[in-house]
Amino acid sequence: MVASLSRKTSAAPPAGELLFSGNDWDFHTIRRIHDACEAVAGPELGLSWYPNQIEIITAEQMLDAYASIGMPLFYKHWSFGKHFAQQEASYRRGLMGLAYEIVINSDPCISYVMEENTATMQTLVIAHAAFGHNHFFKNNYLFKQWTDAEGILDYLDFAKGYIARCEERYGHQAVEQVLDAAHALMSQGVHRYPRKKRPDLASEQRREREREQHGEQIYNDLWRTLPAKAGAAKGDPALERRKALLELPQENILYFLEKVAPRLRPWQREILRIVRLVAQYFYPQRQTKVMNEGCATYCHYRIMNALSQKGQLSEAAYLEFLTSHTNVIRQPNFDDRSFGGHNPYALGFAMMQDIARIVEQPTQEDRDWFPDIAGTGDAMGVLRDCWENYRDESFIAQFLSPKLMRDMRLFHVVDDPDEPEMRVEAIHDERGYRKMRRSFARQYDVAWLDPDIEVVDVDLEGDRRLILHHKALNRITLQKDDARRVLQHLADLWGYDAVLKEIDPASGAVLVEHTASARPIFF
Amino acid sequence: MHIVDRRLNPGGKSLPNRQRFLRRVKDVAQRAVRESAREKDIKDLGKDGRITVPGDGVREPRFSRQPGTGHQDYILPGNKTYVEGDRIERPPGGGGGGGGAGEGGDGSENSEDAFHFVLTREEFLDLFLEDLELPDLAKRRLAIVETEGLRRAGYTVSGSPANLALSRTLRNSMSRRIALKRPKLEEMTALEAEIARARETGDPGLPDLLQKLEALRERSKRIPYVDPIDLRFRRFEPYPKPIAQAVMFCLMDVSGSMTEHMKDLAKRFYILLHIFLTRRYKHVEIVFIRHTDRATEVDEETFFGSRETGGTLVSSALVEMKRIVAERYSPDDWNIYAAQASDGDNVSSDGPTSTELLRAHILPACQHFAYLEVGDENGPRAGFVEHRTTLWRTYEALAKAGEPLAMRKVNHRRDIYPVFRELFGRKDTKAEA
pLDDT of residue A295: 94
Q: Say which range, A104-118, B48-62, B79-93, B187-201, has the weakest mean pLDDT.
A: B48-62
From A165, A181, A167, A306, select the one nearest A253 (Cα to Cα): A181
* CA-based nearest distance B61→chain A, Å: 5
Q: Total structural domains in chain A?
A: 3
Contact A106, A281 (CB under 8 A): no
CB-closest option in A409, A421, A429 to B77 = A409
The DSSP result for A104-117, as a single string, is E-SSSEEEEEETT-
Contact A476 B72 (CB under 8 A): yes
CB-CB neighbors (< 8 A) of A483 in chain B: 61, 63
From A460, A356, A475, A365, select the one nearest A416 (Cα to Cα): A475
Per-position pLDDT tens, chain A of length 523 = 333 333 333 444 455 678 888 888 889 999 999 999 999 998 889 999 999 999 998 888 888 887 777 787 888 888 888 888 878 877 777 666 667 788 989 988 999 988 888 899 999 999 999 999 999 999 999 998 888 888 888 999 999 999 999 999 999 889 999 999 999 999 888 888 877 677 778 888 898 899 999 888 888 888 888 777 765 556 677 778 888 888 888 889 999 999 988 889 999 999 999 999 999 998 888 889 999 999 999 999 999 999 999 989 999 999 999 999 998 898 998 888 888 889 999 999 999 999 999 999 999 999 999 999 988 888 999 999 999 999 999 999 999 999 999 999 999 998 888 888 888 988 888 888 999 999 999 889 887 888 889 998 888 778 889 999 998 888 888 888 889 999 999 999 998 899 999 998 888 888 889 999 888 776 6
Q: Are residues A39 and A107 in the same domain?
A: yes
Q: What is the pLDDT of residues B288-327, one digit of tens each?
A: 888 887 888 888 777 777 777 777 788 888 888 888 888 8
The DSSP result for B8-28, as a single string, is TS-S-TTHHHHHHHHHHTHHH
Contact A56 B7 (CB under 8 A): yes
A484 within domain boundaries = yes
Contact B411, B268 (CB under 8 A): no
Contact A341 B104 (CB under 8 A): yes
Chain A residue closest in CA terms to B80 = A409
CA distances A297 to A293, A326, A352, A394, A462, Å, are: 6, 11, 9, 20, 57
* CA-based nearest distance B40→chain A, Å: 21
Interface of B with A in 60-79 (CB under 8 A): 60-66, 69-79
A1 within domain boundaries = no
HSE toward the beta carbon, residue B145, CA cutoff 13 A? 15
Percent of chain B at pLDDT > 90 equals 6
Contact A480 B74 (CB under 8 A): no
Sign of CA dihedral A320, A323, A324, A325: positive
Contact status of B309 with chain A (Cβ, < 8 Å) = no
What value does the mean pLDDT take over residues B372-398? 70
Cis, bond preceding B135 (omega within 30 deg of 0): no
Q: Which amino acid is at A172?
A: H
Round to whole Å and give the CA distance between A410 and A347: 12
pLDDT of residue A393: 92
Question: Is A169 exposed, middle or buried, given 0-12, 13-18 or 19+ CB atoms closer than 10 A?
Answer: exposed
Contact B63 A483 (CB under 8 A): yes
Contact A424, B82 (CB under 8 A): yes
pLDDT of residue A253: 92
Q: What is the DSSP letter of A17?
A: S
Q: Which of A428, A447, A466 is where one domain is finished? A: A447
* Number of residues that make up chain B: 433
Q: Are strands A498-503 and A466-471 parallel, antiparallel or unpaired?
A: parallel
SS3 for A250? Answer: strand
Round to whole Å and give the CA distance between A490 and A141: 32
Q: What is the DSSP letter of B359?
A: I
Contact A307, A14 (CB under 8 A): no
Contact A477 B59 (CB under 8 A): no
Q: Are residues A106 and A38 in the same domain?
A: yes
Round to whole Å and give the CA distance between A423 and A415: 7
SS3 for B277? Answer: helix
Q: Are residues A115 and A46 in the same domain?
A: yes
Q: Find residue B409's DSSP bridge partners.
A: B373
Contact status of B82 with chain A (Cβ, < 8 Å) = yes
Other residues' Cβ atoms within 10 Å of the Cβ of residue A289:
18
Round to whole Å and give the CA distance between B273 and B338: 10
* CA-based nearest distance B23→chain A, Å: 8
Contact B3 A2 (CB under 8 A): yes
* CA-based nearest distance A50→chain B, Å: 10
Q: Which amino acid is at B264?
A: D
Q: Are residues A53 and A117 in the same domain?
A: yes
SS3 for A159? Answer: helix
HSE toward the beta carbon, residue B241, CA cutoff 13 A? 12
Task: Print burial letters for A291-310: b (CB count within 10 Å at least 16), e (below 16).
Answer: bbbbbbbbbbbbbbebbbeb
What value does the mean pLDDT take over residues B355-379? 80
Contact B70 A442 (CB under 8 A): no
pLDDT of residue B242: 62
CB-CB neighbors (< 8 A) of B99 in chain A: 333-337, 339
CB-CB neighbors (< 8 A) of A426 in chain B: 84
* CA-based nearest distance A374→chain B, Å: 25
Cis, bond preceding A199 (omega within 30 deg of 0): no
What value does the mean pLDDT take over residues B321-341? 84
HSE toward the beta carbon, residue B198, CA cutoff 13 A? 14
Cβ-Cβ contacts under 8 Å between A and B: the total is: 273
Q: Are strands B406-410 and B368-374 parallel, antiparallel or unpaired?
A: parallel
Contact B238, B150 (CB under 8 A): yes
Question: What are the domain boundaries of chain B?
Answer: 17-51, 161-235, 243-432
A238 within domain boundaries = no
Contact A408 B77 (CB under 8 A): yes
Q: Which domain range does residue A77 map to?
A: 19-140+288-309
Contact A184 B61 (CB under 8 A): yes
Contact A260, A492 (CB under 8 A): no
SS3 for B79? Answer: coil
Contact B63 A5 (CB under 8 A): no
Q: Say which range, B78-92, B233-247, B279-293, B371-385, has the weakest mean pLDDT.
A: B371-385
pLDDT of residue B176: 93
What are the start-end ranges of the E strands in B87-166?
Answer: 87-88, 114-118, 146-156
Other residues' Cβ atoms within 10 Å of the Cβ of residue B266:
27
CA distances A183 to A167, A180, A278, Å, are: 17, 5, 10
φ, ψ at A390 (rounded to 5°): -125, 160
Contact B354, B253 (CB under 8 A): no
Contact B182, B222 (CB under 8 A): no
Contact status of B81 with chain A (Cβ, < 8 Å) = no
CB-CB neighbors (< 8 A) of A125 in chain B: none
CATH classification of B243-432 is 3.40.50.410, yes or no? yes
A115 within domain boundaries = yes
Round to whole Å and give the CA distance between B285 and B249: 9
Q: Are residues A379 and A433 in the same domain?
A: yes
What are the start-end ranges of the E strands in B69-145?
Answer: 72-76, 87-88, 114-118
Q: What is the DSSP letter of B249?
A: E
* Residue B64 Rama label (left phi>0; alpha psi -120 to 50; beta): beta
Q: Are residues A355 and A423 in the same domain?
A: yes
Full-model pTM: 0.71
Task: Write the ipTM.
Answer: 0.78
Q: Are strands A452-458 and B114-118 parallel, antiparallel or unpaired?
A: unpaired
A386 within domain boundaries = yes
Contact A333 B115 (CB under 8 A): no
Chain B residue closest in CA terms to A341 = B101
Contact B243, B335 (CB under 8 A): yes
Helix or strand holding residue B337 (H, E): strand B335-342
Q: Which amino acid is at A436?
A: M
CB-CB neighbors (< 8 A) of A35 in chain B: 1
From B291, B80, B172, B266, select the one nearest B274 (Cα to Cα): B266
CB-closest option in A80, A427, A443 to B79 = A427
